[in-house]
Chains A and B, each alone.
Chain A
Amino acid sequence: MSTAFNTSMADSILYLDGVNVSFDGFRALNDLSLVLDAGEMRAIIGPNGAGKTTMMDIITGKTRPDSGQVVFEGNVDLTRHDEAAIAELGIGRKFQKPTVFETQTVHDNLELALKADRSVRSSLLWMLSNEASRRIDEILAITRLGDHANEIAGSLSHGQKQWLEIGMLLAQDPKLLLVDEPAAGMTDDETAETARLLKEIAESHSVVVVEHDMTFVRDLGVKVTVLHEGSVLAEGSLDAVSADKRVIEVYLGR
């Protein structure tokens, strides 16, 4: 490991170095290295099967890497923690396939996500405080789900579920948000609205967004990392990576 890497590790919120993961001999992540500064928003693009979701699985403890370093806030080794502990450390995740609690109301989904003591005892004794209630209303307004607060989450449209999941991330108030394809299945208007929302969130959080929609990525206007076959192919502004021959070849040019 170089010293240059070490200095950046100290003020990074997320630091991946030489991460490898194989599934039955198939290399999903191949010596992947990526550094995200505290407060930064990063867009990740890349063809299907590039390993974008797998990278999020590694960061959130769903999958263990075969080798490599995964460090949060410069000193926490994430490979030693499980999903719940990592969430408690301050990493929130929106899944590629929207996963909300379908049989519970929109309000209850947000209440479940709301930052609070996660112990059995305190959830038994929990009473919705005015402050918590206000925060939920705020998020309902931000995600435009105010009219649906008492509806069952399973009855929401695809786009609304995506927004609810983003709302749940907000309620969780993590330090780092991992957002997997937030605009999938959305209309152009909804996509633009989602980009606006994420930019707003990024003002006070570190964010990693995976997205295929180039208009959306352009709207975000942040540094882009291109993944291909489990490792970083290119990194830089969207214009710079779009001009990269290899990127055009494996991804954009298709």
Chain B
Amino acid sequence: MRGLVFRAFDRGGMIFLGILFGLILLLALSNLIMPVGHPLHAPTYLVSLIGKYLTYALLALSVDLIWGFCGILSLGHGAFFALGGYAMGMYLMRQIGDRGVYGNPELPDFMVFLNYSELPWYWHGFDMFWFAAIMIVFVPGLLAFIFGWFAFRSRVTGVYLSIITQAMTYALMLAFFRNNMGFGGNNGLTDFKDLLGFDLQNDGTRVGLLFASAMALGLGFLICKAVTRSKYGKVITAIRDAESRTRFLGYRVDRYKLAVFTLSACMAGVAGALYVPQVGIINPSEFTPANSIEVVIWVAVGGRGTLYGAVIGAILVNYAKTYLTGALPEIWLFALGGLFVFVTLFLPRGIVGAVNGSGDGGPSPIMTKVRDWRAARAMEGRS
């Protein structure tokens, strides 16, 4: 256990976390301390926007853990994110109490509207934060465990696995669209008022959520570090590179995959739970298969198998998305597709790999070019 905790802290990771928290702190201070109108004042929408990016970064991290390190290309991680989000949404709905439009102290507005006479059994307990907090981790984790149990034991891998993860999130989307599922149908859950007694419209609460997101991301990062730098991490990397060889060494590949897949889903659930109060709504569109594919693109752009690359990729691509969907909404999807093709062809190890080489020791394409260029200059100089 001591070894596991110890391994979470390496120099690169500490630098990364230091930069992350430094920036978050600056953002928080400029929002809370600088007066509105001051050039250094960060508006609250920016705080929530960055907060949202951080939850995406945690989601990307969870995908990098399984894809970058174990070779499991999940195209359904949006589902775990959304389930965590719904669990948080249910808590937030229950917090509204009798302040809804219909003023029913027991039933959320949409249930009154749909003529529910009583709270469905699975809504019980969600008025308590601790219960919701457990469900945020437990529900995505359980789904991943059951899904992984069947998939990994029957040795479904590669494209086939990716396809069934897509099917999983698609099926959940259809289910959550139905009104009689009891999750608000296509409108989802919204009109939240407060969280743990803090008003969600309040700047302080927004900053608090930003910090909570940064903490969750930091913790997720440390957990991933600890896991991937342990012998367990070496085994899953071995599975990624030569699955059947790993079996012949006596490792139960299905169990190793199941463990990391479940952990990853729990992380995605936490990300979703922090996302919902910052955007103010959760609805079935979060299960859209395309969402899960986008996450994979973030990781590919940042550089898979590096952890911090996933974080950088998620933030950069989402920043581009925010900018482009505002400025030129019709080109966003083309830009995303183009970016993916570009990265796949020219930066196979993502931005991170291009800048500083990679884990597997080979020189980075950019560094190689720089060296070639220098060598060429030196030759010219001599002649």
Chain A 154-168 residues near chain B, CB threshold 8 A: 154-155, 168
Chain B residue numbers with a CB within 8 Å of A60 are 248
Q: Give a binary string over B1-45; 1 marks a CB under 8 Å from any A CB, 0 the rest.
A: 101100000000000000000000000000000000000000000
Chain A 96-146 residues near chain B, CB threshold 8 A: 99-104, 108, 111-113, 118-120, 123-127
What is the CB-to-nearest-CB distance from B375 to chain A, in angstroms, rounded to a whole number? 22
Determine whether B253 belongs to the interface, using a CB cutoff of 8 Å to chain A: yes
Q: Which of B1, B234, B252 contacts A84 (CB 8 A)?
A: B252
Interface centre among A93, A118, A119 (most CB of B within 10 A): A118
Q: Which of B231, B247, B359 contacts A123 (CB 8 A)?
A: B231
Would B241 and A118 count as touching, CB distance under 8 A?
no
Q: Which of A82, A95, A119, A151 contacts B245 (CB 8 A)?
A: A95
Would A104 and B238 count as touching, CB distance under 8 A?
yes
Chain B 240-291 residues near chain A, CB threshold 8 A: 241-242, 244-253, 255-256, 259
Would B251 and A118 count as touching, CB distance under 8 A?
yes
Chain A interface residue count: which class?
Answer: 20 to 34
Given A83-B247, A84-B250, are A112 and B234 neighbors across the interface (CB < 8 Å)? yes
What is the CB-to-nearest-CB distance from A161 to chain B, in angstroms, rounded to a whole number? 12
Chain B residue numbers with a CB within 8 Å of A92 are 248
What is the CB-to-nearest-CB distance from A213 to chain B, in angstroms, rounded to a whole number? 24
Determine whether A152 belongs to the interface, using a CB cutoff of 8 Å to chain B: yes
Chain A residue numbers with a CB within 8 Å of B248 are 60, 62, 83, 87, 92-93
Give complex CA distance A15, B36 in Å. 83
B interface, by DSSP: helix, strand, loop or mixed? helix
Would A126 and B238 count as touching, CB distance under 8 A?
no
Chain B 208-239 residues near chain A, CB threshold 8 A: 227, 230-232, 234-235, 237-238
Determine whether B360 belongs to the interface, using a CB cutoff of 8 Å to chain A: yes
Would B249 and A126 count as touching, CB distance under 8 A?
no
**Can you name the residue of chain A whose Cβ is closest to the Cβ of B227?**
A124
Determine whether A172 belongs to the interface, using a CB cutoff of 8 Å to chain B: yes
Would B242 and A126 count as touching, CB distance under 8 A?
no
**Can you name the residue of chain B whose Cβ is closest to the Cβ of A115?**
B250
Q: Which of B227, B247, B360 contacts A152 (CB 8 A)?
A: B360
Given A87-B248, A111-B231, A125-B3, are A101 and B241 neighbors across the interface (CB < 8 Å)? yes
Give complex CA distance A82, B81 in Å. 35
Would A103 and B241 count as touching, CB distance under 8 A?
yes
Would A108 and B252 count as touching, CB distance under 8 A?
no
Give complex CA distance A99, B245 in Å. 7
Interface centre among B1, B231, B238 (most CB of A within 10 A): B231
Would B247 and A84 count as touching, CB distance under 8 A?
yes
Give complex CA distance A124, B228 in Å. 9
Would A112 and B242 count as touching, CB distance under 8 A?
no
What is the CB-to-nearest-CB distance from A163 to chain B, in angstroms, rounded to a whole number? 16
Would B227 and A155 count as touching, CB distance under 8 A?
no
Chain B residue numbers with a CB within 8 Å of A125 are 1, 3-4, 230
Would B252 and A62 count as touching, CB distance under 8 A?
no
Q: Which of B1, B244, B360 contacts A83 (CB 8 A)?
A: B244
Chain B residue numbers with a CB within 8 Å of A83 are 244, 247-248
What is the CB-to-nearest-CB distance from B57 to chain A, in angstroms, rounded to a whole number? 24
Q: Which of B242, B247, B252, B256 contacts A101 (CB 8 A)?
A: B242
**Can you name the residue of chain B whose Cβ is closest to the Cβ of A85?**
B250
Determine whether B381 belongs to the interface, using a CB cutoff of 8 Å to chain A: no
Give complex CA distance A104, B249 in Å. 15
Chain B residue numbers with a CB within 8 Å of A126 are 3, 230-232
Chain A residue numbers with a CB within 8 Å of B237 are 101, 103-104
Determine whether B326 belongs to the interface, using a CB cutoff of 8 Å to chain A: no
Give complex CA distance A126, B324 in Å. 47
**Can you name the residue of chain B whose Cβ is closest to the Cβ of A105?**
B361
Give complex CA distance A41, B259 in Å. 40
Would B359 and A103 count as touching, CB distance under 8 A?
yes
What is the CB-to-nearest-CB distance from B66 to chain A, in angstroms, rounded to a whole number? 15
Determine whether A88 belongs to the interface, using a CB cutoff of 8 Å to chain B: yes
Would B4 and A124 count as touching, CB distance under 8 A?
yes
Give complex CA distance A120, B70 in Å. 14
Given contacts A93-B248, A125-B4, A126-B232, 14 further A-B contacts (CB under 8 A): A100-B242, A101-B237, A101-B242, A102-B241, A111-B234, A112-B234, A112-B249, A118-B250, A124-B227, A124-B232, A125-B3, A152-B360, A154-B360, A155-B361
19 CB contacts below 8 A, A to B, read: A83-B247, A84-B252, A84-B253, A87-B249, A95-B245, A99-B242, A101-B241, A101-B242, A103-B241, A103-B360, A111-B234, A118-B249, A118-B250, A120-B252, A124-B4, A125-B3, A125-B4, A125-B230, A155-B361
Binding site for A on B (CB under 8 A): 1, 3-4, 227, 230-232, 234-235, 237-238, 241-242, 244-253, 255-256, 259, 359-361
Binding site for B on A (CB under 8 A): 60, 62, 82-84, 87-88, 92-93, 95, 99-104, 108, 111-113, 118-120, 123-127, 151-152, 154-155, 168, 172
The 3 closest A-B pairs by CB, nearest first: A87-B250, A83-B247, A126-B231
